[in-house]
Structure 1
Amino acid sequence: MSQLSASVSLKSSTGRWVLAAATLGSGMALLDSTVVNVALRRIGEDLGASLSDLQWISNGYLLSLASLILLGGSLGDHFGRRRIFVIGVAGFAIASLACGLAPTPAVLIIARIAQGVAAALLTPGSLAMIQGAFAQRDRARAIGTWSGLGSVATAIGPFLGGWLVQYASWRWVFLINLPIAAITLYAARHVPETRDPEAVKGFDIPGAILGSLGLAGITYALIEWTALPSIAVPALIIGLLAGLAFVINERRSRNPMMPTGLFASRQFSAANAMTLLTYAALGAVMFFLVLQLQVVSGFDALAAGLSTLPVTIMMILLAGRGGALAAKIGPRLPMTIGPLLCAVGTLLLARVGPQVNYWLDVAAPLTIFGLGLATLVAPLTATVLAAAPDHHAGIASGINNAVARAGSLLAVAALPLMVGLSGGDYADPVVFDRGYRAAMLWSAALLAAGGVVSWFTIRNPEQPTARTD
């Protein structure tokens, strides 16, 4: 079944199948991204993993996802969004099975990288199916429902992950994806195929390879700098050269996956710089906090997973209002205050230690952190889209998504090195506690820098002047 124009009604059975498939697919990827951090300590104990192994288990997924998400969206536009989405869901299920059965850290890391490749196909496809299938009058409501149900998946992720780790096995954190994927594939059978008839011909394969190699080289160097310096140094050089070659390729390519002309807009460049800083800190805070609560504070996996719920609750309750506020006063102030609130919350999280009061030392700081995120996320997305021409809106959104993933990837790779953690230090409460506190200070500095960047570079759009004649 194939169609090039949007004609599906939200109330029709086909519309419900489209929404179900898109929500289940993206929800599966969101669920996976929120549960793995909770399982890291138990994975390390069961597989005898080092801290660098745990970094790779987290970062392998982000590496392939950040590198290939733009290519995944382009493949859907050319070959059919449903087709690429289905391939992504099936690949995600196979990779999840491999994760769940992994006998060694190396096998788990490889499977996590494969998960990221599959997620790069299904993540852009889930929203693209909605945009391509639904009639214009129903599209906003369909996207709102999809986004809201995605928030539910994010909310239950820490609880589900903690419960599975605590009462079943860390392996079920991955195996739970299999029945979700099966239901998603069944729903996708009823989804009409859509393509973009105006999509440019050709794919930026060199760009995808160079981007992946650049991120991989830099990430490898940061994670393995202490253990394997003789390999880490060449990896860093290769990564930097590949990154430079990626930029040159994107400037010269006839069909770039990241049109560099978009960065000629100061607003677009500034918003992405702020994204890099903010999401780097967000990735680091969540990586370190969940381990700190288990290793140093003595929380079990379920309690550690539930501890981050204040952030999700604040996002669900207030993110929409943050967007409405920015629409009234402009994005500059929310994009400045938001990261600064997150920085305050992160500084307060540095107090988490062996003797911890959950409500004062964890819940209150995370509530402030969540308030900051709710303040900045919607204005940030709107600013990125407004700074790009309409025909590049999808690419602009994809670039911002990739920048956010890359920020988390690089922070989780770099901060353990910067705070002196390596090897089996994550199992030593005294050593890890010292490194955790330093990591929170660095994360707060990144967030504060994001606020400063926004204040000095983001501009509010000019308001139309009322005519008096």
Structure 2
Amino acid sequence: MSLHKRTIGDPSPRTATGAAQGGTAPDEPQDPAARRHAGRVLALSSLGAFVVFLDTTIVNVAFETIGSSFHTTIGHLSWVLNIYSLVFAAALIPAGRLADRYGRKRVFLIGMTGFGLMSALCGLAPSATVLIIARGLQGAFAALTIPTSLALILPEFPPSRRPAAIGTWGTMAAAAAAVGPTLGALLIEYASWRWIFLVNVPICALVLIVGLRLLRETREQGARGIPDPLGAVLIAVIPAALSLGIVEGPSWGWTSPRVIAAFVVAVVLLPAFVWRTRTAVRPVMDLALFNVPQFRLVNAASLVFGLAFFAVLLSNFIFLQTEWHYSVLIAALACLPNPILTTITARPATRMVHTYGHKVVFLAGAVLFAVAQGALALALSTHAHVAALWLPVMAVTGISLGLNLPTLSVASTKPLAPAQFAVGSAINQSFRQLGAVLGVSLFAAIVGTPGAGTALTAFHNAYWLFGALGLLSGLIICLPQLRRTTTPTQTA
């Protein structure tokens, strides 16, 4: 994860997580026992990633239920989602650097332990405020899990098999994000909204018990110190200020001094973060990675598509519950084609990336996503049209997510040297989570708590906007990759 003085795109396969640390030598064939062990590590690490990404969306369906339980507003509850995504995104890259120094296995297991404990606290929270605080802590431990889960996988596979392993890991992440709302709805219907958090506890316990015996410890030779604390604070405060302005703008007034101040803080601190990152001894993010054209464009697309994707997932369930007056369970069943087709499509999508290239696959997914949301914006009414409209749209949306989410995971690491896979993936996940924060904030600003006569129009506007942003993400990833001449890169 730590780049030290390695050149971006250095094609040398010998990495700090290679054979010297107990992994498979880059060009040596794996014996059957090593292949079986690698498969088990991939399964366990992917399960850890699955439970973490599950919590990025499983709460969506519980908005109405939690709001009724705590007698609070959608704007306030949006922070149950946003605080998790904000802390998660801000801590991902520092967490990877900490793992470089103190050991990937150790940090991964600490992350899973803390994530399980904070999940239990969320499930037992007596108030919305306690729930929001617990969600923030849950996001911090989630950040310890994601980069380390990938870093533990990579040394177990020879270079020729690493892209497939990353694709499997990305498929699990995509499936988790897509299945979250449906699983949450089932838990709410047959148990309680608290079980959308408590369900994590036994999974984390299983990963911890098996991981203690199965996983091998690796660390970066020569890693020293901790990532720049000021940079870590800035990377969290900037999107937090932006989200505050977007969420509270409708209620405080867009010309309110508090809203203007929130936007000003975000704008002013962005160049400050870039300056700090360029000058810090141990920067929280290595900006040299963005000299790789494909890496730049993929992360920009991840931010925009993450915004649209997370906002649409939230919008679907709230629309079904508020406009068609569906129960949580019926809403989950109405959205079921989405996670099913996401899961079915995700694995073939990773193979299609290697055959046709990430641009073709992602653009196809982005177009399908935009068409699906455009159909909802044009045809949704207060009368339920399930078979003719809703179910086909959910199916098309599921296919689009299955194409796009794993493609982003694979494409973000493909142009990088093996030693940079973990940090590249961590940055990509950070951009996706920041997109989630902005998407939920925009949804809260557009829909909020409209009156009976304006709710449908608000949802139409939301679907138009998020469909357009989904299409924009596909256009971004297809922009010409103008190479910078200052830093050599590896040809993707």
Asked if TM exceeds 0.5, the reply is yes
Query: Structure 2 length normalisation: TM-score?
Result: 0.83
* Alignment check: 8 A CA contact 2:42 2:165 kept: yes
* Cα deviation digits, residues 182-218 of structure 1 (max 9, x gap): 2222222213322122546542222111111112111
1:91-102 matched pairs, under 5 angstroms:
91-102=114-125
Higher relative contact order (CA 8 A, sep 6+): 2
The answer as to 2:340 corresponding to 1:313 is yes
Task: Quote the residue 1:183 is aligned against.
Answer: 206
Question: 1:208 is matched with which residue: 210, 220, 232?
Answer: 232
Moved more, 240-249 or 380-389: 380-389
Q: Which residue of 2 aligns with 1:358?
A: 386
The count of residues paired between Structure 1 and Structure 2 equals: 457
Q: Are 1:284 and 2:311 matched, yes or no?
A: yes
Equivalent of 2:131, from 88, 91, 108? Answer: 108
State the alpha-carbon separation in 1 of the partners of residues 111 and 386 from structure 2. Answer: 39
1:368-379 to 2 correspondence within 5 Å? 368-379=396-407
CA deviation map 1:287-346 (0-9, x unaligned) = 111110111112211222233332333333233433333433333333333212210011
Q: CA deviation at 1:264?
A: 2.7
Distance 1:160 1:389, change over 3 A: closer
- Counterpart of 1:336? 363
Which of 177, 191, 199 is matched with 1:168 structurally?
191
Q: Alignment partner for residue 428 of structure 2, among 394, 400, 411?
A: 400
Question: For residues 208 and 391 of structure 1, what CA distance do their matches in structure 2 show?
Answer: 22
Are 2:29 and 1:6 equivalent residues in the alignment? no
Residues 4 and 196 of structure 1 are in contact (CA less than 8 Å); yes or no, is this contact kept in structure 2? no
2:464 is the alignment partner of 1:441: yes
Q: How far did residue 72 of structure 1 move?
A: 1.2
**What is the RMSD of the two structures over their aligned residues, measured on CA atoms?**
3.1
For residues 352 and 133 of structure 1, do their structure 2 counterparts lie closer, same or farther at Cα, with a shift above 3 Å needed?
A: same
| Matched ranges for 1:125-204 at <5 A | 125-132=148-155, 153=176, 157-190=180-213, 191-197=215-221, 199=223, 201-204=225-228
2:113 maps to which residue? 90
Distance in 1 between the 2:415 and 2:38 partners?
Answer: 31
| 1:263 aligned residue | 290
Question: 1:113-136 CA distances to partner (integer Å, 9 max, x unpaired)?
Answer: 111111111122222222245677
Code of the aligned partner of 1:273: A
Q: How has the CA–CA distance of structure 1 residues 217 and 187 changed in structure 2, closer, same or farther, with 3 Å as cutoff?
A: same
Which 10-residue stretch deviates more, 53-62 or 361-370?
361-370
Please give the alpha-carbon distance, in whole angstroms, between the structure 1 residues aligned to 2:363 and 2:482.
Answer: 11
* Mapped partners of 1:55, 1:68: distance in 2: 20
| AA of the residue aligned to 1:335 | F
1:354-377 Cα deviation digits (max 9, x unpaired)? 322223222211222233333344
Contact 1:96 1:178 in 2 (8 A): yes
Instruction: Identify which range, 113-122 or 235-244, moves more after superposition.
Output: 235-244
What is the distance in 1 between the residues matched to 2:41 and 2:415?
30
Q: Which of these residues, 71, 85, 109, is aligned with residue 62 of structure 1? A: 85
Structure 1 residue 144 displacement after superposition: 6.4
Q: Secondary structure at the match of 2:57?
A: helix
Once residues 197 and 284 of structure 1 are traced to their aligned partners in structure 2, the CA distance between those partners, rounded to angstroms, is 41
2:415/2:491 contact within 8 Å kept: no
Q: CA separation of 1:37/1:10 partners in 2, compared to 1, >3 Å: closer, same or farther?
A: farther
Which among 208, 213, 218 is matched to residue 242 of structure 2? 218
- Alignment match of 2:100 (pick from 77, 82, 94): 77
Alpha-carbon distance change, 335 to 14 in structure 1, aligned in 2, over 3 angstroms: closer
* Aligned partners of 1:204 and 1:257 also within 8 Å: yes
Percent of paired sites with the same residue? 30
Separation (CA, whole Å) in 2 of partners of 1:148 and 1:365: 21
Give the one of 300, 304, 325 matched to 2:331. Answer: 304
State the distance in 2 between where 1:32 and 1:136 align. Answer: 31
How much has 1:48 moved relative to structure 2?
Answer: 0.8
CA contact (8 A) 2:154 2:162 kept: yes
For residues 395-435 of structure 1, the C-alpha deviation after alignment (integer angstroms, 9 at most, x for no partner) is 22221111111112112112432x3x43x44xx55443321
Is the CA contact 1:89–1:184 (under 8 Å) kept in the aligned structure 2? Answer: yes
Cα deviation, 1:59-110, whole Å, max 9, x if unaligned, reads 1111111111111111112111121112211221222122112222222111
1:248 Cα deviation after fit: 1.0
Cα distance in 2 between the residues matched to 1:150 and 1:212: 23
Q: Is the Cα contact below 8 Å between 2:301 and 2:473 reproduced in 1?
A: yes
TM-score, reference length from structure 1: 0.87
Spell out, residue by residue over 1:130-173, the C-alpha distance to the aligned partner (whole angstroms, 9 max, x if none): 22456779867766665666666556543431121112211111
Whether the 8 Å contact between 2:373 and 2:464 is mirrored in structure 1 is yes
> Aligned partner of 1:308: which letter?
C
Amino acid at match of 2:219: R
Aligned residues of 1:339 and 1:448 also touching (Cα < 8 A): yes
Distance 2:416 2:103 in 1: 25
Classify 1:394/1:147 alpha carbon distance in 2 versus 1 (closer, same or farther; 3 Å): closer
How far apart, CA to CA, are the structure 2 residues paired with 1:10 and 1:69? Answer: 34
